[in-house]
Amino acid sequence: MNHPIKTSLTWILILGISPLLLGQRKAGTAPPAAPAVYFPAPGNWEKRSPQESGMDEAALQEAIQFAIAQENPAPRNLETSHYQSFGREPFGMAIGPFKERGEPSGLIIHKGYAVASWGDPNRVDMTFSVTKSFLSTTIGLAYDKGLIRNVQDLVYPYMAPIVTIAPTSSLERGDYLNRPQVLDLFSTEHNRKITWNDMLRQTSDWEGSLWGKPDWADRPAANPAEWYNRPRQAPGSVYEYNDVRVNVLALAALNVWRRPLPEVLRTHIMDPIGASPTWRWFGYDNSWVILDGVLVQAVGGGGHWGGGMFINAWDMARFGYLTLHQGKWKDRQLLSEEWVRMARTPTPAQPTYGFMNWFLNTDKKSLPSAPESVYYHVGNGSNIIYVDPENDLVVVVRWIKSDALDGFVGRVLKSIKK
């Protein structure tokens, strides 16, 4: 009778397996599974001390004090601030709501956990052009769902007739005699050449007026002779930050979705990531359209003339955390990785800009103290969501001077123990 142990050893030798190696495999265990990525529950972002997160608390506090000391000196009454800045432009009258802002505030999320906060991060404030990142996200959702087939498609074929109405205006037809009754955003020879990609990257040079604001009236050229009838730049060739054109994109997105954009954002992004019920996305007093028999407000892409996204710092951080994880929240891919990749791709005419309002650190030009891979969502004030994949870091900082951002970020990064 064969001995079972000897027989097994014989087969091991025949198969060429080292008994020593086999013993190691038997004795060893499978590599430990990577810890599950933490995602905060609605209304509760778990906290860790800086020490638990591998950060130096004193250095972190120095960064926070720097952010507080570098408060934007503009009036906290944001309507007053508007008339001291953008309100001085041609047609600069406010047409949307303003809200007096709070004190400097912010959050630092490291390795998924909240390690520091200051000010009142629960306060809902205007966030200005960070609104553009929410707007471009609704375009991304339309792309993911096939409502927009390709960002290189011309926008014109997607557009239906748009009828606008100001609820407080007279409805007498005679008041509108010989005025265009249907708004056609892309009817001119130049505008018909514009793609979704051009609009997202602010390289369209779209011509026209919307909501009472001509395209040239936003940050107008110093030479008034350039305001009218200038030669248009080929779409995609020249970058120009322009809120009139952003509002055109918002109206085009509404036309594609046939649903209010705040509803789209809430359903597909904000509710799934556990955002609070306190954020609001506003349009203008006169940005109302008739959509499928219903009066709908077209939202703005920022607070240039009032309105835009009003939101607290925790909800800003949740959006930044979603982008840090390539559009995935827990086990759901809310926004495709493909879209996040495209949003982070530099614009040829402006390499530090991706899709609105994803600012890039290409060649470390914008933030010399930060890795080149970082990106950030920026609004006037300044309101900033800083996202740093290399350091597993999301930072929200509000009401800081724009030229102080690199100094603040550099201090935060120095607090991370290597």
Task: Return mean pLDDT, the chain.
Answer: 91
Q: Is the pLDDT of residue 26 over 50?
A: no
Distances (CA, A) of 364 to 13, 260, 343, 361, 407: 58, 37, 18, 5, 14
Q: Is the pLDDT of residue 8 over 50?
A: no
> How far is residue 102's CA from residue 121's CA, in Å, rounded to a whole number?
10
List the single range of 57-71, 185-199, 221-235, 320-334 with lowest mean pLDDT: 221-235
Task: Using a pLDDT cut of 70, give the percent of the chain over it.
Answer: 88
Length of the chain counted residue by residue: 418
In this structure, what are the phi and psi dihedrals at residue 291, rounded to the nearest 5 degrees? -125, 110
> How far is residue 189's CA from residue 183's CA, in Å, rounded to a whole number?
16
- The residue ranking higher by pLDDT, 201 or 22, is 201
In this structure, what are the phi and psi dihedrals at residue 328, rounded to the nearest 5 degrees? -105, 140
List the single range of 23-32, 99-108, 186-195, 390-399 with lowest mean pLDDT: 23-32
Contact status, residue 374 vs residue 358, Cβ threshold 8 Å: no
Nearest to 334 by CA among 344, 319, 349: 319
Structural domains in the chain plus CATH codes: 76-103+122-357 (3.40.710)
Contact status, residue 357 vs residue 129, Cβ threshold 8 Å: yes
Report the pLDDT averaged over residues 333-343. 98
At 89, list the tokens.
């432009």
Confidence of residue 229 (pLDDT cuts 50, 70, 90): confident
Give Rg (Cα) of the chain.
Answer: 26
Nearest to 244 by CA among 252, 254, 236: 252
Which pLDDT belongs to residue 176?
53
Q: Residue 237: CB partners within 8 Å, gap ≥ 6?
A: 203, 349
Q: Where does residue 179 rank: exposed (0-12), middle (13-18), buried (19+ CB within 10 A)? A: exposed
Contact status, residue 144 vs residue 125, Cβ threshold 8 Å: no
In this structure, what are the phi and psi dihedrals at residue 107, rounded to the nearest 5 degrees? -145, 150
pLDDT digit string, tens, across residues 293-325: 999 999 999 999 999 999 999 999 999 999 999
Q: Is the pLDDT of residue 140 over 70?
A: yes
Q: Is the pLDDT of residue 407 over 50?
A: yes
pLDDT digit string, tens, across residues 63-119: 999 999 999 999 999 999 999 999 999 999 999 999 999 999 999 999 999 999 999
> How far is residue 284's CA from residue 300's CA, in Å, rounded to a whole number?
7
